[in-house]
Structure 1
Amino acid sequence: MKAAKSGTKDGLEKTKIAVMRTFLNRKDVPGDSEEEEMGFLEVPVNDLKHLFPELGPMPEGLSPQQVVRRHILGSIVQSERSYVDSLRRILQDYRNPLVEMEPKVLSLRKCQVVFFRVKEILQCHSMFQIALSSRVAEWDTTEKIGDLFVASFSKSMVLDVYSEYVNNFTTAMSLIKKACLTKPAFLEFLKKRQMGSVDRVTLYGLMVKPIQRFPQFILLLQDMLKNTPKGHADRLSLQLALTELETLAEKLNEQKRLADQVAEIQQLTKSVSDRSSINKLLSSGQRQLLLCETLTETVYSDRGQLIKSKERKVFLLNDMLVCTNINFKCVGQLEISTLVPLGPKYIVKWNAALPQVQVVEVGQESSAHEKDNVVIPNLGLKKHMPSSQSSHNKVYLGPPRLFQELQDLQKDLAVVEQITLLISTLHGTYQNLNMTVAQDWCLALQRLMRVKEEEIHSANKCRLRLLLPGKPDKSGRPVNVMVVFITPNPLSKISWVNRLHLAKIALREENQPGWLCPEEDKKCKAPFWCPILVSRMPAFSSRALDLQISQYILPNHSEVHIVILVS
Structure 2
Amino acid sequence: MKAARNGTKDGLEKTKIAMMRKVSFLSKKDCTDDIEEDSGYLDVTVSELKHPPPQLSPMPEGLSSQQVVRRHILGSIIQSERSYLDSLKRILLEYKKPLMEAEPRILSLKKIQPVFYRLKEILQCHSMFQIALASRVAEWDNTEKIGDLFVASFSKSMVLDVYSDYVNNFTNAMGLIKKACMSKPAFLEFLKKKQAASTDRITLYGLMVKPIQRFPQFILLLQDMLKNTPVGHQDRLPLQLALTELETLAEKLNEQKRLAEQLAEIQQLTRSVSDRNLSKQLNSDQKQLILSETLIETVYGEKGQVLKSKERKVFLLNDMLVCANINVKGPPDISSLVPIGPKYAVKWSAPLLQVQVVEVGQETPQRKDSIYQQSGSKRLSSTNSQGKLFLGPPRLYQDLQELQHDLSVVEEVTLLVGTLQGSYQNLNTTVGQDWCMALQRLIRIKEDEIQCANKCRLRLMIPGKPDKSGRPVSFTVVFSTPSPISKISWVNRLHLAKIALRNENLPGWVCVEDDEKTKPPFWCPLLACQLPQYDKCFTTHLLPVCSLYYSQNVMHSPFNDCFPYRYQLWMSG
TM-score range, shorter chain: 0.7 to 0.9
Q: Distance in 1 between matches of 2:124 and 2:288?
A: 36
State the AA in 2 paired with 1:351. Answer: S
Render the CA deviation track for 1:463-488: whole Å, top value 9, x for unaligned: 11111112334554323211111111
Match of residue 292 from structure 2: 292
Q: Does 1:192 align with 2:189?
A: no
Match of residue 453 from structure 1: 447
* Alpha-carbon contact 2:320-2:351 (below 8 Å) kept: yes
State the AA in 2 paired with 1:82. Answer: S
State the AA in 2 paired with 1:323. Answer: C
Render the CA deviation track for 1:233-280: whole Å, top value 9, x for unaligned: 11111111111101100110010000000011111111112x432111
* Alpha-carbon contact 1:326-1:347 (below 8 Å) kept: yes
Identify if the C-alpha distance between structure 1 residues 411 and 261 changes in structure 2 by more than 3 Å, giving closer, same or farther.
same
Structure 1 residue 532: Cα displacement: 3.1
* Alpha-carbon contact 1:406-1:453 (below 8 Å) kept: yes
Structure 1 residue 401: Cα displacement: 1.9
CA RMSD of aligned residues (A): 2.7
* Alpha-carbon contact 2:360-2:393 (below 8 Å) kept: no
Identify if the C-alpha distance between structure 1 residues 19 and 498 changes in structure 2 by more than 3 Å, giving closer, same or farther.
same
Match of residue 49 from structure 1: 50
- Where 1:176 maps in the other structure, the secondary structure is helix
Q: Distance in 2 between matches of 1:294 and 1:221?
A: 35
Match of residue 547 from structure 1: none
Of 356, 360, 385 in structure 2, the residue corresponding to residue 358 of structure 1 is 356
* Alpha-carbon contact 2:319-2:498 (below 8 Å) kept: yes
State the AA in 1 paired with 2:240. Answer: Q
Render the CA deviation track for 1:482-536: whole Å, top value 9, x for unaligned: 111111111111111111010000011121114265999xxxx99823263469x
5+ residue gaps, structure 1: 1-13, 372-389, 536-567
- Where 1:366 maps in the other structure, the secondary structure is coil
Q: Tell which deviates more after alignment, 125-134 or 93-102.
A: 93-102
Q: Does 1:499 align with 2:493?
A: yes
Match of residue 87 from structure 1: 88
Counting matched residue pairs gives 492
Match of residue 250 from structure 1: 251
Q: Distance in 2 between matches of 1:493 and 1:370?
A: 18
Q: Distance in 1 between matches of 2:469 and 2:494?
A: 31
Q: Distance in 1 between matches of 2:367 and 2:102?
A: 71
Alignment of 1:211-360 (within 5 A): 211-273=212-274, 275-330=275-330, 333-360=331-358
State the AA in 1 paired with 2:452. Answer: S
* Alpha-carbon contact 1:506-1:531 (below 8 Å) kept: no
Match of residue 149 from structure 2: 148
Match of residue 434 from structure 2: 440
Alignment of 1:36-185 (within 5 A): 37=38, 39-185=40-186
- Where 1:198 maps in the other structure, the secondary structure is coil
- Where 1:465 maps in the other structure, the secondary structure is strand
Q: Distance in 2 between matches of 1:144 and 1:370?
A: 60
Match of residue 364 from structure 2: 367
Give the number of the structure whose alpha-carbon radius of gyration is greater: 1
* Alpha-carbon contact 1:394-1:403 (below 8 Å) kept: no
- Where 1:104 maps in the other structure, the secondary structure is coil
Q: Distance in 2 between matches of 1:20 and 1:298?
A: 64
* Alpha-carbon contact 1:424-1:435 (below 8 Å) kept: yes
State the AA in 2 paired with 1:423. Answer: V
TM-score (norm 1): 0.82
- Where 1:515 maps in the other structure, the secondary structure is coil
* Alpha-carbon contact 1:145-1:234 (below 8 Å) kept: yes
Structure 1 residue 370: Cα displacement: 13
Q: Percent identical across equivalent pairs?
A: 72
* Alpha-carbon contact 1:420-1:438 (below 8 Å) kept: yes
* Alpha-carbon contact 2:36-2:118 (below 8 Å) kept: no
Identify if the C-alpha distance between structure 1 residues 391 and 241 changes in structure 2 by more than 3 Å, giving closer, same or farther.
same
Structure 1 residue 329: Cα displacement: 1.3
TM-score (norm 2): 0.81
* Alpha-carbon contact 1:298-1:486 (below 8 Å) kept: yes
Of 498, 502, 506 in structure 2, the residue corresponding to residue 508 of structure 1 is 502
Structure 1 residue 112: Cα displacement: 1.4
Q: Distance in 2 between matches of 1:518 and 1:47?
A: 50
* Alpha-carbon contact 1:76-1:220 (below 8 Å) kept: yes
